[in-house]
Amino acid sequence: MASATGRFQRSERLLRTSEYEHVAEQGRRVVSRAFVVVTAVRQTTGPSRLGITASRRVGNAVTRNRVKRRIREWFRRARDEWGSRDVVVIARQPATEMAFEELSRQLSGLLKRAVEAS
């Protein structure tokens, strides 16, 4: 569960390159104009975990961090809907122009498609 400050615990984040690689190799990938979502069922029990990637093509540091904050907030609100999964979200430039509601709707739809396909 997220702490009072909204910060993720270490157990709720993908931390190592090997964890990202495992999700990329074993997971299901779904693509939209603004995001790439890759998800895999966790090998161990525990909460769902999130990894976010936003390259410099997305925008400057302020813009990238804003997009990542919005993705984290979406994850906080929706993580209980799909069970124990590892989720990697790759942000693309069009994500910077989205309202939070649209971002949430699109990410939830992508994740639902990925879960149903796996």
Complete domains list, the chain, with CATH: 11-117 (3.30.230.10)
- Please give the pLDDT value at position 79: 82
What is the per-residue pLDDT across 48-103, written as a single tens digit (0 to 9) for each? 899 999 999 999 999 999 999 999 999 988 888 878 899 999 999 999 999 999 99
Q: What burial letters (b/e) apply to 27-54, b meaning 16+ CB within 10 Å? A: bbbbeeebbebbbbeeeeeebbbbbbbb
> Smallest Cα–Cα separation from 5: which of 54, 66, 90, 69?
69
Check whether 30 has a pLDDT greater than 50: yes
Check whether 25 has a pLDDT greater than 70: yes
Tokens of 23: 């999700």
- Please give the pLDDT value at position 82: 79
Q: What is the average pLDDT value for the chain, to the nearest integer?
A: 90
